[in-house]
Amino acid sequence: MSALLFGVQASRSTACRIVIINGGRMQKLFILLAAALSLLPVASMGIDSVKILPTPVKLDSSREVNKGNTNVETKEIAYTVKVTSSSFSELTDITVKYNIFYEVSELGRKGDPDIKVSAGSHPIPSLLTNKPVEFETDPIKLEKASLDSGWYFGNGASAKTRDKVVGAWFKAFDATGKQVGEYINPTTLSNKQKWRD
């Protein structure tokens, strides 16, 4: 049996190529192996290359005031966002965009609350494996209001209102604009709201 010497080359266009230097009986086997390996996918950034984990935080600017027979409590919240790479190589020029949806109610008004969105973005020049980057979103002001005991609205509106966040949606993009990461909570948010840049 003649000796068979082979090597492996990798490139962007081909996942793996076997170079046969000296053929023998096993030549056909290695040709088949080379063909199979050439069908393997080339590693590239996909939708899960960037992991996004936001955590809501209450800021220190909470306060409570009394306006006549109305009590109003105002607070600000934001999200601390941890961004992690699942790629084996450094990712550069990543941009994380976000939509925070929240309900705003007006004391004394009947009907459904208004839906507002806080939209923003944060650039990440370099993202290394196992070295997460953190940033904070723009703050959102939420109010909780109520009438004093014994007071009510003649139109039947509720004597209490409370603004609240109803969904958080984050997307990560590379320098070409390709989406490489996403976080959405609740998962049904995309069925109710449209993404806004």
Tens-digit pLDDT profile for the chain (197 aa)? 444 333 434 433 333 343 434 455 555 544 444 444 344 333 345 678 999 999 999 996 666 777 678 888 899 999 999 999 998 899 999 999 999 999 999 888 998 999 999 999 999 999 999 899 999 999 999 999 888 888 888 888 888 999 999 999 999 999 999 999 999 999 999 999 999 98
CA max distance for the chain: 101
Catalogue the E-assigned strands of the chain. 5-9, 17-22, 50-58, 63-67, 70-85, 91-104, 114-127, 133-136, 140-147, 160-162, 164-173, 179-185
- pTM reported for the whole predicted model: 0.74
**Ranges for all domains in the chain classified under CATH 2.60.40:** 50-192
The correct CATH number of 50-192 out of 2.40.50, 2.60.40, 3.30.429, 1.10.3470 is 2.60.40
